[in-house]
Structure 1
Amino acid sequence: MSQFDVKSFGKVAVLMGGTSAERKISLMSGGGVLAALRSRGVDAHAFDPAERDLGDLRREGFARCFIALHGRHGEDGTVQGALELLGIPYTGPGVMASSIAMDKVMTKRVWIAENLPTPRFVRLAADQQQREQVRAVPDVLGLPLIVKPPREGSSIGVTKVQGYSDMQDAVALSVRYDPDVLCEEFIDGDEVTCPVLGEGRHAQALPVIRILAPEGAYDYQNKYFTDDVKYQCPSGLPEAEEREIQRIVLAAYRTLGCRGWGRADLMIRASDRKPFLLEMNTSPGMTTHSLVPMSARAVGIAYEDLCLRVLASAALDTPAANGAPS
């Protein structure tokens, strides 16, 4: 028996697809969520904002939305703002938390202000990308370093730069996805991820997953379309290390004002085992390769129950609206 009264959810839209560079992954996530919700008796329907007007959500009587969109116009506060105006509760963080978390530079600034560990970085704005400025970045961050678009996900547009001569091409690739460029200190060590469910002091960190990618290439192709990456959950890390990662991730999640669910990605520096926060995903993947379902499974939460639990957490930023009849 489900702990949720699925009839109380009403008519549910699973928002998937969208217009970002991660459209393909979003359709995979949304398809999985849709099937899971329907299997548990939820009146759930696919809704692609790239093909339909969001106003149709209200016109067609949708009571809540499960956001399975990834990237821009799905994870960045814009859809969340539209749903606030429509008065339709949605899954995941609200407008501000979504907007900040989508921008890795803003996220890092918030974390640094709260003394949370994140790799050192240089931001190259659109007017700071002359050859000499680009070439100077390794002097600040050392080599190797990472170059990536600050407002994309799924490892799209990311380059690991090994030498000065690679900087220009790395910046050119990144600029295809975002006018700004984030250059980040490379942390050599274990790559891990840690999901969170809930809100505020009730938020709960799920088990840490250790990611073992071929030659450290945890890129778009390996993330979604191969079985070459190995995932360890339980992570196999010392218990104290796992607990410390969960503590940092919860602090990072709360500091950004997240709710519902999220997933933080981190690196553990091999030299001293210090964890560093890379980013917070506020609409995590829900594909067959995805990490939140894997972590949830390790504590006995089935994929379908995870989808129901996230859907049950759907809310609005505006308290008055939360209590308003739908």
Structure 2
Amino acid sequence: MPDKSKTIAVICGGLSPEADVSRLSASRITPCLEQHYGRVVHLELDATLPEQLIAQRVDVAFPVAHGPYGEDGRLQGLLDIMSIPYVGSGALASACSLDKVVTKRLLQAAGIPMAKDRIVYRSDNCEDATLDCIESLGHKVIIKPPGQGSGIGVQFAMGYEDLLNKLKTGLQMDEKLLVEEFVSGREITAGVLHLDDYQVLPVTEITTPDGAWYDYIHRYTPGLSNHVTPARIPDEQYQKVQQIALKAHQILGCHDLSRSDFIVPESGDPIFSELNNLPGMTPTSLFPDGARHAGIPFDTLICKLVDQALKRGENPNDGKAYWPIPKLNIRPS
């Protein structure tokens, strides 16, 4: 039951390229929070945030600051230090989840199917790295900045010259790039709602009317993408997607919610792409759409997430004593 005495801080914006999208998420969840809780304040993810959190006497934070700074553990670490409970994963899980390379290495070790990849660093010889990518991954590849979300900076390359030019351009923006083999298939996603127990949401297929890749514009422009739920894939693949989404959520140590993306070929295992540890809440976002198909209205979803964070704040160690610390017989010098 929502507590009318609580002050909720919706944290959005910041230095991320996804700042505008995060403000859109914030504007969608705010009316729901205002209806069910005492006070709701919008706070920008900037240098004034700590003093604002104190001044506003915030009881719980709802971060919707997507991308770097808000989704990579830095904001979560600040909230932990200030003992403010918050919706979503902790600092370590957030940091691991936003970094596509770290995510892949952790999940590969658990046997989750992935596209073959190569990491190219700014310090590498770009010509040699390009040849190596083509030899190991094939002539058609996809290039991803490791620490961005929403498809920002993602490029497709075909052949040596195209890949070389795009690597040189990309490495001016990032210290390293993730290059993956191109896998053909349907774009599929599945969310995990993790409250008292785990619930894997219905699997969704993403299509675009013009057959284009699901890029930043198609993600957030109404009418430029369609969500087909349940996804039109065989039952065996459908169940495998849900199993992997849950396994990824657990291995990375996520809390409350996550959404895993896949490429599902005509036959065989779904290929895991990435995990979003703080899914968007915009009108075109996939996670709330998946929850709706699971019978969870948007208002109910938002309140459940806030109440879970409040409960976690009341019992930071789940009622268990911490490890006993031996006393040191040390005198100040």
- Answer whether TM exceeds 0.5 for this pair: yes
2:249 to 245, 253, 275: 253
In structure 1, what is the Cα distance between the partners aligned to 2:314 and 2:57?
A: 20
Q: 1:298-318 deviations in whole A, cap 9, x for unaligned?
A: 122111111111222226699
| Distance apart, 1:236 and its partner CA | 2.8
1:91 to 87, 94, 105: 87
Structure 2 residue matching 1:277: 3-state secondary structure: strand
Structure 1 residue matching 2:88: 3-state secondary structure: coil
Equivalent residue number for residue 52 of structure 1: 48
Asked if structure 1 preserves the Cα contact closer than 8 Å seen for 2:121 and 2:171, the reply is no
In structure 2, what is the Cα distance between the partners aligned to 1:199 and 1:5?
A: 15
Which ranges in structure 2 are unaligned for 5 or more consecutive residues? 320-333
Q: For structure 1, which segment, 68-77 or 311-320, has the greater mean C-alpha deviation from structure 2 after superposition?
A: 311-320
Equivalent residue number for residue 2 of structure 2: 5
Q: 1:120-147 deviations in whole A, cap 9, x for unaligned?
A: 1111122125222233311111131100
Asked if structure 1 preserves the Cα contact closer than 8 Å seen for 2:12 and 2:64, the reply is yes
Asked if structure 2 preserves the Cα contact closer than 8 Å seen for 1:95 and 1:317, the reply is no
Equivalent residue number for residue 77 of structure 2: 81
In structure 1, what is the Cα distance between the partners aligned to 2:213 and 2:94?
A: 27
Taking only the aligned residue pairs, the percentage that are identical comes to 31
| Distance apart, 1:102 and its partner CA | 0.8
What do you get for the CA RMSD once the two structures are aligned? 2.2
Does 2:8 match 1:26?
A: no
Q: 1:66 to 1:73 in 2, by over 3 A?
A: same
In structure 1, what is the Cα distance between the partners aligned to 2:147 and 2:206?
A: 22
Equivalent residue number for residue 309 of structure 1: 304
Structure 1 segments (4+ residues) deviating >4 Å: 315-323
| Distance apart, 1:42 and its partner CA | 4.6
Q: 1:171-206 deviations in whole A, cap 9, x for unaligned?
A: 244335422100012110011011111169x22110
Q: 1:50 to 1:176 in 2, by over 3 A?
A: farther
Equivalent residue number for residue 137 of structure 1: 133
Asked if structure 2 preserves the Cα contact closer than 8 Å seen for 1:158 and 1:174, the reply is no
Structure 2 residue matching 1:76: 3-state secondary structure: coil
Letter in 1 for 2:163: M
Asked if structure 2 preserves the Cα contact closer than 8 Å seen for 1:84 and 1:317, the reply is no
Structure 2 residue matching 1:252: 3-state secondary structure: helix
Q: 1:167 to 1:296 in 2, by over 3 A?
A: same
| Distance apart, 1:320 and its partner CA | 4.5
Asked if structure 1 preserves the Cα contact closer than 8 Å seen for 2:206 and 2:226, the reply is yes
1:222 to 191, 199, 218: 218
| Distance apart, 1:156 and its partner CA | 0.6
Structure 2 residue matching 1:215: 3-state secondary structure: coil
Letter in 2 for 1:301: I
Superposition map of 1:28-43 within 5 A = 28-43=24-39
Structure 1 residue matching 2:105: 3-state secondary structure: helix
Asked if structure 2 preserves the Cα contact closer than 8 Å seen for 1:135 and 1:167, the reply is no
Asked if structure 2 preserves the Cα contact closer than 8 Å seen for 1:94 and 1:317, the reply is no
Q: 1:150-174 deviations in whole A, cap 9, x for unaligned?
A: 0001101001112221112322443
2:99 to 78, 103, 110: 103
Q: 1:38-83 deviations in whole A, cap 9, x for unaligned?
A: 1334521111113633232123210110010100000000000000
In structure 1, what is the Cα distance between the partners aligned to 2:318 and 2:20?
A: 32
Asked if structure 1 preserves the Cα contact closer than 8 Å seen for 2:67 and 2:147, the reply is yes
Letter in 2 for 1:161: A
Q: 1:284 to 1:157 in 2, by over 3 A?
A: same
Structure 2 residue matching 1:117: 3-state secondary structure: coil
Asked if structure 2 preserves the Cα contact closer than 8 Å seen for 1:161 and 1:167, the reply is yes
Does 2:177 match 1:186?
A: no
Structure 2 residue matching 1:147: 3-state secondary structure: strand
Superposition map of 1:150-165 within 5 A = 150-165=146-161
Q: For structure 1, which segment, 166-175 or 19-28, has the greater mean C-alpha deviation from structure 2 after superposition?
A: 166-175
Asked if structure 2 preserves the Cα contact closer than 8 Å seen for 1:87 and 1:321, the reply is no
- TM-score under structure 2 normalisation? 0.89
Letter in 1 for 2:149: G
Count residues in correspondence: 318
Superposition map of 1:234-249 within 5 A = 234-249=230-245
